[in-house]
Amino acid sequence: TQAPRIALRAGAITFRGNPFLAPEAETFVYESDALLVMEAGRITAFGPYEALWPSLAEGTEIRSFPDALLCPGFIDTHVHYPQTGMIASFAGELLEWLERYTFPTELAFADPAYADAMAKVFLRQLLRNGTTTAMVYCTVHPHSAEALFAESHRFDTRMIAGKVLMDRNAPEGLLDESVARSIAESEALIARWHGTGRQLYAVTPRFAGTSTPEQLEAAGHLLKRQAGLFLQTHLSENRKEIEWIAGLFPERADYLDVYAHAGLVGPRAVFGHGVHVSEGNLCTCHETGAALAHCPTSNLFLGSGLFRLFDALDPRRPVRVGLGTDVGAGTSFSQLASLNEAYKVAALQGGRLDAVKGFYLATLGGAHALHLDDRLGRLAPGYEADVCVLDLKATELLALRTARSDDISDQLFALMTLGDDRAIRATYVAGRCAYDRDRAEPFQYA
Ligand code: GUN
Ligand code: ZN
């Protein structure tokens, strides 16, 4: 059924451009009393309430949110849904954590019923955190992707996901039986889900460590077989990992070159982490349109290192950068929590991530990283109506803090530093309320 015409009234923030590259006045939009009109899944009008209300079609329901800000739905460019249940597991660095917690957890997805149950929990976690689009790793089991897409389709969220490809260096039960079969399974999922409703497919070799050169190459061919496919994998997250990859691929110049050689570096490719990348790697990403997913809570939790955000976004050769939670190595589904940590990661390198730049990364920046910024990440007519409603008085502390100032950047900074799922009053997906914090049953399918 078609989404009805609904108008939301509250303060609002959105972006017209990238505040890392152009002055805030040209890129950031704040309306202290905005009206956002949504119909048939899209935004049809956005602007000051006083200017817009006279032209509102008769019978349009207006939902007002006091002490709140409308914001484009958050975009999580790197997250593992199967790891939802193992978030916050005490472990050492990356490779140890993978062996000890991650692989055993993902083995449980051999059971389709378990995958279905976890997909439900995962989508609910995203929506209660204001996240409306995510780029999601499933497990090696095709039905894990089926479960995720099916649940996302019920909410009509725009998700990008894929079955993980891995054919070496993991427990037997997590390995693809053959390269041919792993590609055939991916193809079947693409046929079923890529472009079905709002679902999009990402070819997903886990990382160079768990795929043979043959599987990476086959992934590269698969990627070119259909327009608009995505690619996701991990890149240069951890020093030991990088050394290991260098040993596995001695004939390649570096980690990114492993992927480039397989034809995996280009537009709609999203590389998780990129903590320890070279200037040459950043130039390659800039030139090819490939993106990096900055995952600060994960990088701190595993002790992987500090992502060079301002270097990546250097106006001389800006790289597309999205923000990722990387749950379960990441410690929160909240992109507000990611921004809280991103600020500290920058601070440890002598930089300061202000709130305008931060909220850009969590919204339009993510859409740009995914090459979807023509339809996602903004509050503007024609854009898909994915909106989160931020509650400036969500907690006693936030209320106290935001009351002290009427400066929007300062209020946003308090939100990104103190906020979490409590600060999400509601989440609209394709023009419908998918989550309302204050309802008895907060979640609603489309
Ligand atoms: N590298 C390969 N697999 C993973 C994973 O599941 N999480 C993280 N953080 N890094 C990885
Ligand atoms: Zn990851």
| CATH code of residue 50 | 2.30.40.10
Binning pLDDT at 50, 70 and 90, where does residue 2 land? confident
Give yes or no: residues 157 and 297 share one domain: yes
Give yes or no: residues 84 and 218 share one domain: yes
What angle is formed at CA 292 by the lines to CA 135 and CA 193, rounded to 5 degrees?
25
Going by their DSSP bridges, the two strands 131-137 and 158-162 should be labelled as parallel
* Domain boundary residue, one of 342, 369, 396: 369
Q: What is the pLDDT of residue 1?
A: 66
- Answer whether 78 contacts ligand 1 (Cβ < 6 A): no
- Answer whether 237 contacts ligand 1 (Cβ < 6 A): yes
3-class SS at 32?
A: strand
- Return the best residue to mutate from 106, 206, 259 for the ligand 1 pocket (most ligand atoms within 8 A of CB): 206
Q: Which two tokens stand for residue 250?
A: 């001695």
Residues 6 or more apart whose CB falls under 8 angstroms from that of 99 comprise: none
CA of 273 to the centre of ligand 1 (A): 9
Q: Which two tokens stand for residue 210?
A: 């768990």
Report yes or no: 148 and 122 within 8 Å, Cβ to Cβ: yes
User: Percentage of the chain with pLDDT > 90?
Assistant: 98
**pTM of the entire predicted model:** 0.99
* Domain boundary residue, one of 349, 369, 389: 369
Which pLDDT tens digit goes with each residue over 292-341? 999 999 999 999 999 999 999 999 999 999 999 999 999 999 999 999 99
Give yes or no: residues 109 and 189 share one domain: yes
- Answer whether 167 contacts ligand 1 (Cβ < 6 A): no
Report yes or no: 171 and 198 within 8 Å, Cβ to Cβ: no
Give yes or no: residues 214 and 328 share one domain: yes
User: Measuring from atom 8 of ligand 1, which residue has the nearest CA?
Assistant: 329
Q: Of ligand 1's atoms, which has the minimum distance to the CA of residue 326?
A: 9
Give yes or no: residues 230 and 245 share one domain: yes
Give the count of domains, the chain. Answer: 2
Which pLDDT tens digit goes with each residue over 250-305? 999 999 999 999 999 999 999 999 999 999 999 999 999 999 999 999 999 999 99
CA of 328 to the centre of ligand 2 (A): 8
Write the CATH number for 221. Answer: 3.20.20.140
CA of 298 to the centre of ligand 1 (A): 10
ipTM: 0.99
Which pLDDT tens digit goes with each residue over 131-171? 999 999 999 999 999 999 999 999 999 999 999 999 999 99
Structural domain span for residue 385: 6-73+377-436
Nearest residue to 2 via CA among 44, 33, 65? 44
Q: What is the pLDDT of residue 432?
A: 98
- Tell whether the model's pLDDT for residue 57 goes beyond 80: yes
